[in-house]
Amino acid sequence: MPVLVMKFGGTSVATLDRIRRAAKRVGVEVAKGYDVIVIVSAMSGKTNELVGWVNETSPLYDAREYDAVVSSGENVTAGLMALTLQEMDIPARSWQGWQVPVRTTSAHSAARIEEIPPENIRAKFAEGMQVAVVAGFQGVSPEGRITTLGRGGSDTTAVAFAAAFEAERCDIYTDVDGVYTTDPRVSSKARKLDRIAFEEMLELASLGAKVLQTRSVELAMRYKVKLRVLSSFEEQSDDAGTLVCDEEEIMESNVVAGVAFSRDEAKMTMVSVADRPGIAASIFTALSDAGVNVDMIVQNIAEEGRTDMTWSCPVDQVKRAERAISAAKESGTINFQELIADEDVAKVSVVGIGMRSHTGVAAKMFQVLRDEGINIKVITTSEIKISVLIDRKYMELAVQALHDAFELDKAA
Amino acid sequence: MPVLVMKFGGTSVATLDRIRRAAKRVGVEVAKGYDVIVIVSAMSGKTNELVGWVNETSPLYDAREYDAVVSSGENVTAGLMALTLQEMDIPARSWQGWQVPVRTTSAHSAARIEEIPPENIRAKFAEGMQVAVVAGFQGVSPEGRITTLGRGGSDTTAVAFAAAFEAERCDIYTDVDGVYTTDPRVSSKARKLDRIAFEEMLELASLGAKVLQTRSVELAMRYKVKLRVLSSFEEQSDDAGTLVCDEEEIMESNVVAGVAFSRDEAKMTMVSVADRPGIAASIFTALSDAGVNVDMIVQNIAEEGRTDMTWSCPVDQVKRAERAISAAKESGTINFQELIADEDVAKVSVVGIGMRSHTGVAAKMFQVLRDEGINIKVITTSEIKISVLIDRKYMELAVQALHDAFELDKAA
């Protein structure tokens, strides 16, 4: 029988009532003839409680013990979901990560899934079990200790099971009803997309649209797992939500799929750097070692052996970046005149696989911003994305204007 | 190095502060040179919360899923305890039941420990680990599923580890400071015992002194594990609490070690039963099938082919017993005139291994009760125990009078 993977996030299993509602959705798919693998998160709030206890006990905790404690939330939901399904006369049982087993690396709290042998669960399906409920977010290391995959890891668990079981689809039930052309709270014209390409979703996920964990989208793309994002709080038809899929499966699409934004950015400029081969490596190694997540980088043309270097990073990492750069200056690694931080910027991006074949998207974007009187501070581009840094106060205006100009409120 | 097992119950690990206090006690024993195995319960209240969720989800739950859910509380405490010890620079790690592994039968929710291979933990001790923190109450079945040992099972886990590791002693930290000659709330003269024999503890445990789970005492007796009961809320000296040990290790002892009682008993009498071979079997099979825990049984001498049959059971099982007996009468299995239930009785017992060699204890007990004007309704005896059923309103009086008469306030 075909396998379907269904993943329910923390808000979708927050109470016994919500678990029942989720179980009813599972029942609908079982009735269609699927063998269903359900991946569950911890009841919302539980993981935060456990993380809080660990942090209070041991601020520099042993990640192996962190994982042993924090993984327990998913185990509770898995058992309760199995019991709920049994009450509905659906043969089901729960599996903890080590029982499957979900084999991962030993990188505790940020482990990667290496292998999911499907034999144990397949054998149960063959015996008549209809639903395998699996605790998400967790696995077991080669040393036999419990690992976790990092925040949002249950999405990754779901996609990895879909790949291992060659599932027909992986449905991610969450508290939004799909992926939008932009955040509906910023533009009232935001439209839910029926389909979006993996590459577009990856850009949107990493740009701040918090629907899916980036790693899960990467994994889905690599293994060609059809991902569907949909709401657990609405009655669902077969084509509800948004399907994240291969671009070949999208017949018609707008050149631009969506407008993403990231509010809390900072722009830092190092003025009059003594230019020499390897200077960029010195600067960005120092920042990386200090744990600064550098995003955009721009280097001006050098004049008379000196250049300006600009980068962006999250605004709450500015102090850390300043300390790292000061230390590098004192040690003589870097020579520059001044370091200027602009902590009032935001990033706005247009994303779409159509850009590969359509020219003029960048030009149109810059015109729209110019017409609104918005100054562009930094530009970066990829094959399917153009990002700009602008003053934060213009962020909403820019998103709305771009959404209008690219007619994202209309389907292709 | 010698091994010490230390078990902390739910109230002893109810908060992060209490876990720290317990960890300090562990540190004291580590400093003495012990390899310590710490067995932890769930933080108090947690198991009840989980059991509540399971019952609400599925009143006739699958015990395998019950175990998967309910065992998670101990896992959290185990991880937090390991982290707390690490913060004190004591090398420690946590172990869940399946990791040790604690091999049990497949009798979910009431599993029995079959084997605890000590190799894994011993290897870690050899590498320099000083404390193994083990989640109590749980194990793993031959099928690889999580099992639990039933309420109070962490005591049993502790004793089983002490046996498997040939521990010098098994210290049970709880919210009382030891085993008393009787409940201090009933007699202000109750005295804490320094030592008590396994057999005495077994009688006291099953008679309602809720200090230790009966099964853990049985196991300790079989494997000659020295058990010490002591408070986690007081500073402890080396001879604190009560040592439960082999009777040979008790030099001097009172003939009677303690007075136990059980408040909520009922006496049921079946009047004028048609006597025939096998009638007792018919009655008590019917009661057992109905889940009635029959305690004392008395049969009067039969006259003219009819007899009276009396038994005691917990007062909240009277209705169930009546239904079972009525059904047996209707089906013709049993023939009797009347069933009388007395729901206002209590059981009082004196317990002591000294009774084996001293005569006259029963006579003295009956005299004391007579002198107080207390009527005895049923009597049963074992080698080291005499129990009587009396009117509940006299229970405290009987306990106090017996405690005085056997001079239990004075050490031997």
Residue A232 binned pLDDT confidence (cut-offs 50, 70, 90)? confident
| Contact (CB<8Å) A87/B144 | no
Give me chain B's average pLDDT, please: 92
How close B158 gets to chain A, by Cα (Å)? 21
Q: Which of the four pLDDT bands, split at 50, 70 and 90, describes residue B369?
A: very high
- Which of B19, B74, B76, B146 best probes binding to A when mutated, by most A CB atoms within 10 angstroms? B76
Q: How many CA atoms lie within 13 A of B303 on its CB side?
A: 4
The pLDDT value given to residue A279: 85
Q: Does A129 touch chain B (CB under 8 A)?
A: no
Q: Report the C-alpha gap between B121 and A358 in whole angstroms.
A: 64
Chain A contact for B50, CB < 8 A?
A: yes
**What CA–CA distance (Å, rounded) separates B135 from A302?**
63
Segment among A35-49, A70-84, B131-145, B181-195 with least mean pLDDT = B181-195
The reported pLDDT for the residue numbered B248 is 84
pLDDT tens string B101-131: 999 999 999 999 999 999 999 999 999 999 9
Question: To the nearest whole number, what is the mean pLDDT of chain A?
Answer: 92
Domain ranges across chain B? 3-175, 259-405
Q: Which one has a higher pLDDT value, B412 or A288?
A: A288
B185 is in an annotated binding site: yes
Tell me what pLDDT residue B253 has.
74
Q: Is the pLDDT of residue A264 over 70?
A: yes
| β-pair partners for A135 | A40
Chain A residues touching B16 at Cβ < 8 A: 53, 56-57
Give CA–CA dist B112/B268, Å, rounded.
33
The token duo for A219 is 């994994």
Q: Is the pLDDT of residue B209 over 70?
A: no
Q: Is residue A286 pLDDT above 80, yes or no?
A: yes
Q: Which pLDDT does position B206 carry in this prediction?
A: 67
CB-based contacts of B53, cutoff 8 Å, min separation 6: A16, A76, A80, B69
> Once rounded to an integer, what is the mean pLDDT over residues B305-315?
90
Distance of residue A122 Cα from the nearest chain B Cα, in angstroms: 16
CB distance A77 to A141 below 8 Å: no
Structure token pair of residue A318 = 């500015």
Q: What residues in B contact A145, CB-CB < 8 Å?
A: 99
Q: Looking at the complex, does the CB of residue A145 fall below 8 Å from at least one CB of chain B?
A: yes
- Examine the pLDDT at A87 and tell me if it is beyond 90: yes
> Chain B within 8 Å of A69 (Cβ-Cβ)?
yes
How many distinct helices (H) and strands (E) make up chain A? 12, 18
Q: Flag whether residue A65 sits within 8 Å of chain B, measured between CB atoms.
A: yes
Instruction: Grade residue A276 by pLDDT with cuts at 50, 70 and 90.
Output: confident
Give per-residue pLDDT as tens, A340-383: 999 999 999 999 988 888 888 999 999 999 999 999 999 988 88
Mean pLDDT of B6-32: 96
pLDDT-derived band at B137 (thresholds 50, 70, 90) equals: very high
Quote the minimal CA–CA distance from A319 to chain B in Å: 29
Task: List CB contacts (< 8 A) between A19 and chain B.
Answer: 57
Give the CATH fold of the A259-405 domain.
Answer: VC0802-like (3.30.2130)
Residue to substitute from A83, A89, A134, interface B, most B β-carbons within 10 A: A83
Q: What integer pLDDT is reported at residue B304 of this predicted model?
A: 80
Separation of CA B102 from chain center = 21
Instruction: Among A165-179, B185-199, B218-232, B238-252, name the one with the lowest average pLDDT.
Output: B238-252
Among A232, A242, A210, residue whose Cα is nearest residue A13: A232
Tell me, what's the pLDDT at A172? Answer: 95
Closest CA to B410 of B201, B191, B209, B114: B191
How far is A151 from chain B, CA to nearest CA, in Å?
Answer: 18
Tell me whether residue A173 is annotated as binding.
no
pLDDT band at residue B204, thresholds of 50, 70 and 90?
Answer: confident
pLDDT at A26 over 90: yes
Cβ of A13 under 8 Å from any chain B Cβ?
Answer: no
Chain B residues closer than 8 Å to A50 by CB: 76
- Residues B211 and B104: their CA atoms lie apart, in Å, by 24
Nearest chain A residue to B134 by CA: give it: A68
Average pLDDT over residues A312-320: 94
Distance CA B273, CA B295 (A): 20
Alpha-carbon separation of residue B271 from A149, B1, B295, B328 (angstroms): 68, 64, 19, 15
CA atoms within 13 A of residue A307's CA, in its CB half-sphere: 15
pLDDT band at B150 (very low <50, low <70, confident <90, very high): confident
Among partner residues B50, B66, B83, which is closest to A54 by beta-carbon distance? B83
B21 touches chain A (CB under 8 A): no
For every residue of B179-192, DSSP letters joined together read -BSS-TTT-TT--B
Q: Would an 8 Å CB–CB cutoff place B368 in contact with chain A?
A: no
Task: Tell me the shortest Cα–Cα distance from A29 to chain B, in angstroms.
Answer: 21
- Residue that wins the pLDDT comparison between B92 and A210: B92
Taking CB atoms and an 8 Å cut-off, how many pairs form between chains A and B?
103
Bridge partners for B9 per DSSP: none
Order of strands, edge to edge, in the sheet holding B92-95? B92-95, B131-135, B35-40, B3-8, B169-174, B227-231, B242-245, B195-197
Interface of B with A in 192-211 (CB under 8 A): none
CA distance A359 to chain B (A): 56
Q: Check CB contact of B66 with chain A, cutoff 8 Å.
A: yes
Instruction: Provide the percentage of residues in chain B whose pLDDT is more than 90.
Output: 74
Taking the Cβ of residue A109 and every Cβ of chain B, the question of whether any pair is shorter than 8 Å is answered with no
Which residues in chain B are contacts of A144 at CB distance < 8 A?
99
Residue B79 with chain A: CB contacts under 8 Å: 54, 65-66, 68-69
pLDDT digits (tens, 9 = 90+) for B5-15: 999 999 999 99
Q: Single out the residue of A236, A123, A103 nearest to residue A169, CA to CA.
A: A236
Specify the pairing of strand B385-391 against strand B338-351: antiparallel
Quick check: B383 pLDDT over 90? no
A51 and chain B in contact, CB less than 8 A: no
Q: How far apart are CA A22 and CA A19, in angstroms?
A: 5
Q: Is B35 annotated as a binding residue?
A: no
pLDDT digit string (tens) for A100-147? 999 999 999 999 999 999 999 999 999 999 999 999 999 999 999 999
**pLDDT of B208 above 70:** no
Q: Which residue of chain B comes nearest to A67, CA vs CA? A: B79
B240-288 pLDDT, tens digit per residue, is 899 999 988 887 778 899 999 999 999 999 999 988 888 888 899 999 9
Q: Do B16 and A72 touch (CB under 8 A)?
A: no
Q: Which of B76, B98, B145 sits opposite A50 (nearest CB)?
A: B76
ipTM here: 0.81
B41 Cα to chain A: minimum distance (Å): 14
Which one of A324-333, B36-45, B280-289 scores highest in mean pLDDT? Answer: B36-45
Residue B336 in 3-state DSSP? coil
- Closest residue of chain A to B87, computed from CA coordinates: A58
pTM of the model: 0.84
User: A94 CA to chain B: closest CA distance, Å?
Assistant: 7
* Res. B164: pLDDT tops 70: yes
Q: Domain spanning A3-175 has what CATH number?
A: 3.40.1160.10
Judging contacts by C-beta atoms under 8 Å, the chain B residues touching residue A45 are none
Mean pLDDT of B156-161: 97
pLDDT, tens digit (0-9, with 9 covering 90-100), for B64-103: 999 999 999 999 999 999 999 999 999 999 999 999 999 9
Q: Are B52 and A93 in contact (CB under 8 A)?
A: no
Which among A72, A119, A143 is the top mutation candidate for probing chain B, defined by the most B β-carbons within 10 Å of its own β-carbon?
A: A72
Q: Calculate mean pLDDT across residues A380-396.
A: 92
